[in-house]
Amino acid sequence: MSFAEYRDTIKDGDTAIVFLGHESMFPVKVQHGSVTQTKYGVIRHSTDLIGKKYGSKVTCSKGGWVFILHPTPELWTLNLPHRTQILYSTDISIITMMLELKPGSIVCESGTGSGSLSHALIRTVAPTGHLYTVEFHQQRAEKAREEFREHGVEHLVTVTNQDVCKNGFGVSNIADAVFLDIPSPWEAIGHAKSALKAEGGRICSFSPCIEQVQRTCLAMEECGFTEINTLEILLRVYNVRTISLQIPDLGKAAEDNSSTGFDSSNPSNQGSPCANLQQGTVQFKSGVPLREMVGHTGYLTFATKS
């Protein structure tokens, strides 16, 4: 099993996603002889998972059922163990596009954190690219190495435990892109410039506060970066549901029906809005925004090495 290379069959040692619903899923490490408890009952790895195809519908011991999904960076972002605040798909998608990443790209990242963006970057640059990720915290760096190894992508990533602001990324003049998610990104701009290829490399800095953005932009300008711009991505989700509204009294409905040739006895007209006039209500589909929505996550500052 690999987050960058997909296969059909579940094997011992794989990481799989147990899908109970869009708002309820969790990762599980498949092991021979192990069991997983769900609200629908027990899943036995040896008989219910190993050898089955990803996407299979598995019946639990209480008669309920779940789907077993192949892990992807998108699903991992929703299910990973949080060691730090993470980036979600909304920001990850624009970062991947604006950094112009593709298979074969060389990317430098700091810091690794919980590995949400790291998995997406690895999947994007595979199979011939490479990610160099730097994490200041030793335990988080070791845990990231362990996860990359379990997820079958260790050959596509190098994890380094050091302070990027003092020691850089450990590579020079090879990166197509650099991503910074650290408290003081302006202190690492010089190292980012050294890691990037001779010209045309792209850099992105993620910061939650506008004061961080201001200092980072000044540092980018001093280091000769061009095309500096900052943007913010906000996500607004809509629920589609059926709405019933009362019909206002605009006159005699019967006369209107006769003048337009409407025949209420015709079965084909029973589902039309006019058929509901006598009941006084009409139903239609409407998109309604959520009462609460995710607001500001951070500012994304992009620039190009000239």
- What phi and psi values does residue 127 have, to the nearest 5 degrees? -100, -5
Which residues face 178 on adjacent strands?
Answer: 108, 203
CA dist., res. 247 & res. 258, Å (int)? 19
CA dist., res. 167 & res. 21, Å (int)? 45
Residue 200 is assigned to a ligand binding site:
no
Residue 115 is assigned to a ligand binding site:
yes
Write the single-letter amino acid at 17. I
Segments in the chain forming alpha helices (H): 73-79, 89-98, 116-125, 138-150, 164-167, 189-195, 210-222, 253-260
For helices 138-150 and 116-125, the axis angle rounded to 10 degrees is 40
What is each CA distance from 80 to 15, 36, 213, 263, in whole angstroms?
11, 17, 28, 59
Residue 24 is assigned to a ligand binding site:
no
Provide the token pair at 277.
Answer: 């006039």
Provide the token pair at 55.
Answer: 């996407």
Residue 255 is assigned to a ligand binding site:
no
> Which residues make Cβ contacts (< 8 Å) with residue 244, sequence separation at least 6?
281, 282, 283
Residue 12 is assigned to a ligand binding site:
no
Residue 117 is assigned to a ligand binding site:
yes
Q: Are 208 and 230 in contact (CB under 8 A)?
A: no
Q: In the block, which residue shows the tokens 């004061």?
A: 211
> Which residues make Cβ contacts (< 8 Å) with residue 183, sequence separation at least 6?
212
Residue 163 is assigned to a ligand binding site:
yes
Report the binding-site residues: 114-117, 135, 163, 181
Report the binding-site residues for S-adenosyl-L-methionine: 114-117, 135, 163, 181
